[in-house]
Amino acid sequence: MNPRKLRLRSLFVLPIALASFSVAAQTTTTAPPPGRLLASNCFQCHGYDGKSSIGFERLSGESAAEIYEELIEMRSKSRPDIMDMHARGYTDAQIRLIADYLSKQKTTSTRTKR
Amino acid sequence: MKRRDFIRLASMAGIGASAFSWAGIARSATPAQLGTVPTNTGITGRVVVIGGGMGGATVAKYLRLWGGSGVSVTLVERETAYTSNILSNLVLNGQRTISSLQYAYSNLATRYGIKVLKGEVMAIDPVGHSVALADGSKLPYDRLVIAPGVDFDTFAGLESPTAQALVPHAWKAGPQTTQLRNMLLAMKPGEVFAMTIPAKPYRCPPGPYERACVVADWLKKNRPGSKVVILDANPGIIAEPVAFGNAFNVVHQGVVEYHPGVTINSIDATTMSLNTSIGNLKAKVINAIPPHKAGKVVVANGLANAGGRWAGVDVLTYQSTAAPGIHIIGDASATTQPKAGHIANQEAKVCADAIVRLLAGRSPDPSPITNSACYSPITSDTASWLTAVFAYDPASGTMLPVPGASGEASARSTENYKEMTKWFNTLMEDSFA
């Protein structure tokens, strides 16, 4: 192999190695799950990750489709109660993210709906 | 015997920490339901939190739940327990006790590994990144969160501690709440309870109107012929105008006298009289709620850069616009959101999420949402509600109410009153359990 070419290649390798190192430093941690911060708006009344046993309806254990449909339905109630009003604060895409996040939170005890 | 029954008996017998709320202790979620601190996030950092109220407790808890065990969190608080302002108006009519509103910090320490320090902050070094405490110790930090709540101006005439002691604001739940309850009990039929409402922004927009309703309802039943005279600095009812308008004009008609747009010139505690822009008023009880500003630690450390009264923040992170690395959440910050416990809890989550991302070298969530919700008692068994959702607006850099997603109950109801207790219990669980 041409020694000059080799030298060039090794010059190239260093910055690439540095770049990949800094990328690695960033990716050793996992990104927060999508929808988690949005879904945390539910926790005040429905408990951490929707798992409350003392408050309003428990959300974890429901499917994403169930949560999504319930929230969408609430938005069109003509005499809104507090949750019907609240559901109007989120776009379809945001509701989908919330529903997806909550549906992935495993229930840990007998499901009691209140 | 079921565990729940045992705990209830134990708390009735006075065993167990007195600082626990009966509601929190008698019915609580399992540790698995409350969440556990992950050990494998790879995120590290030191965060100091000043103030253990709704915002401070929540941010400490979620920094651990979302950041993991590598994020060390130290919570500095001067009290041994938090006394909830929410529902504290129900101490005035005897439906609640102060101890039923108290929450210890032990859950935060044992369940989430938060270092809880009882102490007083002396100074913040924003360059050296450390907090000095009154006992001489120093707490280094990578990120500092301040959640000190509010402080109050002093009315002309109430400069002396003696005068102040006769005119409680009872706007921080605690001894003054009990004092105001006792002043109410000492009233005779036909006497006047006068209260002042400061110009906004102040803590809990519906709170003073709610208090007027609770007091009027109690007076009507227990001290007939007595009146609640409201002197409001605002041009009209600033929260739940339908519910409170109906309460003042219909439900508590003849008991509540509402005066908007009133300036308080001075208060004389010896004669129990108020000098106001609509004349002089003498009362048996004066409950004067002064104008608010950010808690002392914010003002003293040069962080009150919004009109000298509130802390300017970037609402994507709640980072101070005066000092990098310092975040200010809850009532003390200058935002477009209301100053109240429920939304302080949500601001705390936005802040915790942002700090965790920043510690991991990421950018904060570019489009946070926050929500405010509350129930207000109108009588001893009916309540109304209020809710609003706020979304980040990149153009103004502020949290704007989502159109069509704010509103109040169409009417008070007993169902709302029951939901109020549920709401309170889960909100406190989310913050302190």
Residue B305 sits in a domain whose CATH number is 3.50.50.60
Q: Please report the pLDDT score of residue B251 as a whole number.
A: 98
Of B270, B290, B310, which closes a domain? B290
Of the candidates B26, B28, B19, the one whose C-alpha atom is nearest the C-alpha of residue B5 is: B26
One domain, residues B199 and B110: no
CA angle in degrees (0–180, nearest 5) for B183-B184-B187: 90
Q: Please report the pLDDT score of residue B16 as a whole number.
A: 33
Average pLDDT over residues B352-375: 98
Average pLDDT over residues B94-98: 98
- With a cut of 70, say whether residue B372 has pLDDT above it: yes
One domain, residues B142 and B158: no
Answer whether A10 touches B (CB < 8 Å).
no
Say yes or no for a CB contact (<8 Å) between B391 and A89: yes
Of B257, B290, B323, which closes a domain? B290
Say yes or no for a CB contact (<8 Å) between B35 and A28: no
Nearest residue in chain B measured CA to CA from A79: B410
Per-domain residue ranges of chain A = 1-30, 33-114
One domain, residues B298 and B335: yes
Answer whether B366 touches A (CB < 8 Å).
no
Average pLDDT over residues B91-95: 98
Chain B residues in contact with A29 by the CB 8 A cut-off are 41-43, 360-361
Say yes or no for a CB contact (<8 Å) between A44 and B385: no
Of chain B, the percentage scoring pLDDT greater than 70 comes to: 94
In the structure encoding, which two tokens stand for residue A87, read together? 């559901």
Chain B residues in contact with A25 by the CB 8 A cut-off are 361
Could you please state the CATH topology (level 3) that the domain comprising A33-114 is classified under: Cytochrome Bc1 Complex; Chain D, domain 2 (1.10.760)
State whether the Cα torsion B144-B147-B153-B158 is positive or negative. negative
Instruction: Measure in Å the smallest separation between the Cα of A87 and chain B Cα atoms.
Output: 7
Of the candidates B80, B76, B67, the one whose C-alpha atom is nearest the C-alpha of residue B48 is: B76
Say yes or no for a CB contact (<8 Å) between A89 and B369: yes
One domain, residues B13 and B147: yes
One domain, residues B77 and B170: no
Instruction: Provide the domain count of chain B.
Output: 2
One domain, residues B313 and B341: yes
Predicted TM-score (pTM) of this structure: 0.90
Q: How many CB atoms lie within 10 A of CB B153?
A: 12
Q: Cα dihedral angle (A65, A67, A72, A75), rounded to 10 degrees?
A: 170
Evaluate whether B430 touches A43 at the Cβ level (below 8 Å). Answer: yes
Say yes or no for a CB contact (<8 Å) between B356 and A32: yes
One domain, residues B129 and B238: no
Q: How many CB atoms lie within 10 A of CB A56?
A: 20
Q: Please report the pLDDT score of residue A107 as a whole number.
A: 63
- With a cut of 70, say whether residue B336 has pLDDT above it: yes
Confidence band for B29, pLDDT divided at 50, 70 and 90:
confident
* Predicted confidence (pLDDT) per residue in B150-160, tens digit: 999 999 999 99
Chain B residues in contact with A79 by the CB 8 A cut-off are 410
Mutate to test the interface with A, among B21, B392, B426 (most CBs of A within 10 A): B426
One domain, residues B273 and B333: no
- Say whether the ipTM exceeds 0.95: no
Confidence band for A53, pLDDT divided at 50, 70 and 90:
confident
Of B244, B275, B290, which closes a domain? B290
One domain, residues B276 and B383: no
Helix boundaries (H) for chain A: 3-27, 36-39, 43-46, 64-74, 82-87, 92-103
Mutate to test the interface with B, among A21, A22, A48, A79 (most CBs of B within 10 A): A48
Name beta bridge partners: B67: none
- With a cut of 60, say whether residue B433 has pLDDT above it: yes
- With a cut of 50, say whether residue B48 has pLDDT above it: yes
How far is C-alpha B362 from the chain's CA centre?
31
Domain residues for the domain of B57 are 3-151+293-432
Q: Please report the pLDDT score of residue A6 as a whole number.
A: 39
